[in-house]
Amino acid sequence: MAQRNQSSRAISITILLSLLLLHSLFHLAAASNDPDLDDLEELLAIDEEEENQRVMPHGKPSEADVLSRAQRIVLELTNENAQRVIDSNELLLLLGYAPWCPRSAELMPRFAEAATVLREMGSKVVMAKLDADRHAKAASSLGIKGFPTLLLFVNGSVQSYTGGFTGEEIMIWTRKKTGAPVQRLTSIPEAEEFLKTHPIFVIGYFDKFEGVEYEQFVKAATSENEIQFVEANDINIAKLLFPDIGAEKQFIGLVKNESEKFEKFTEKFEEGRILNFVNYNKFPLVTTLTEMNSARVYSSPIKTQVFIFAEADDIKNLLLSLQAVARKYKSKIMFVYVDSAEDNLAKPFLTLLGLESDHPIVAAFDNRDGSKYILETNLTPENLEVFCSSLDHGTLPQYYKSEPKPDSTGIIEKVVGKTFDASVLESAENVFLEVYTPWCIDCDATSKQIEKLAKHFKGHSNLKFARYDASLNENPKLQINNYPALLFYPAGDKSNPIKLSKKSSLKEMINFINEKVKIEDKSGPSTVDQEKKDEL
């Protein structure tokens, strides 16, 4: 990578972050009406010349220069010019966005940062954006269906973007997909500059850039979409990046800008093994969940994941102890921090668990089978260690959400996750159970039918009616997918409930119960039977 003035770049990025959130950013200068490649190169050449002539006293570009350069680096496509620009460029990375989309606004400055860096590195990739809301015809023809969308066009052929969403990750993915999967370092100053700009990377040291092992390294670099791979054949350069290199003639290591900084690859040099090594070690000891990295977190090969839900002030005091525990289970358990104040990130999990975030919460998920676990005690290093040890050894009881135990019963008993066994399975009575959810369209009408049914059989000692809200309760012995569900548990065989159709009429359900239940009403025949029959 060519050396760059770091303070100049920092100012550039800061200005971009402020300005590019506005919809007006990235438009071509008024004098540039034709966005063909020749015009773009001419504008960039003029821009470079002007930038060299008009700099601030200490070599820093002015704010106007930074904005002008950004306007020329990223092309604005329209219905009229989109296909022409794509066809006239060998390599083009397109951002499809909508002005009203928050994630588009979040991605735009990062896209600009990637465009700036790629330009400085001499990349031939043309960076462009399209307001897909305003230019719907072009968006449709290019296959842009959601916002934001990133697409890479290589000689007119399109491929979807599969990388990360920071400026660096966009830059890395683009370089890898356009012919530069590995960056070669040939001098100490170049390596020092590289260290300043890459918080995570894979270093490959080879005395010769040839052979089967080296080819496997390059293949892995090409397949891994998010992390920069770098190579060197000078041991001094390699040691600057990874000090613990020994006398090996070939070496691979992962470097991260955190407490667990260096990870050494010790297996056979094969593409799959290298990729597996990177995937298991690329995350921090405790990863902070964001909208931009959520897909990568969920798809991690480490399927057992411990989530810590806490506010930012709380996590500051907890982080060191969390890292200490996470270090013991590295590559076995992934630790993820979620800011509980971020509703869009925390609320889906907390709703799934049926919990409120009024204090730090620790939950574990096994993504292989969907099982859940909760730390029932206070979050301390000791309690977390016991929790993780039991989780790792498979001895931790699964968590099933439940409402609190109801205080009283009515004509229809409320059953929750914690009371399902005692109220239904262990009850000596025949149990007619209604399973519902508040969002179910048909549940309300069915509930009214069950209330009438319960009143009809009121007073019968060996029959009870129960109701279970499946949106707030779970029990491993009650697995229902469609609502409402009507289940009849015979007193003599609770292991084989009979499922009734939700379309059954009130008369049909009465006849069913009369057939299945031997009424033993000690007070004699019900005085309300005839009244209920009249109501029917």
Residues assigned a catalytic role:
101, 440, 443
What is the C-alpha separation between 173 and 46, in angstroms, rounded?
A: 29
Please give the radius of gyration of the chain, using alpha carbons only, rounded to the nearest integer: 32
Token duo for residue 84: 């022409």
Query: Sheet containing 157-160: which strands, arranged edge to edge?
Result: 74-77, 126-131, 91-97, 149-154, 157-160
Q: Report the distance separating Cα 106 and Cα 104, nearest Å.
A: 5
- Give the span between the Cα atoms of 48 and 517, in whole angstroms: 89
* DSSP string for 317-363: HHHHHHHHHHHHTTTT-EEEEEETT-HHHHHHHHHHHT---SS-EEE
Q: At what angle do helices 63-73 and 6-19 cross, to 10 degrees?
A: 70
Separation CA 108–CA 148 (nearest Å): 9
CB atoms within 10 A of CB 15: 20
Across the strands, what pairs with 77? 130
Tokens 């806490």: give the residue: 310
The length of the chain, given as a count of residues: 536
Cα–Cα distance measured from residue 490 to residue 484, given in angstroms and rounded to the nearest whole number: 20
Tell me the torsion sign for CA atoms 478, 479, 480, 486.
negative
On whether the CB atoms of residues 142 and 158 are closer than 8 A, the answer is: yes
- How many C-alpha atoms does 406 have within 13 Å on its Cβ side? 18
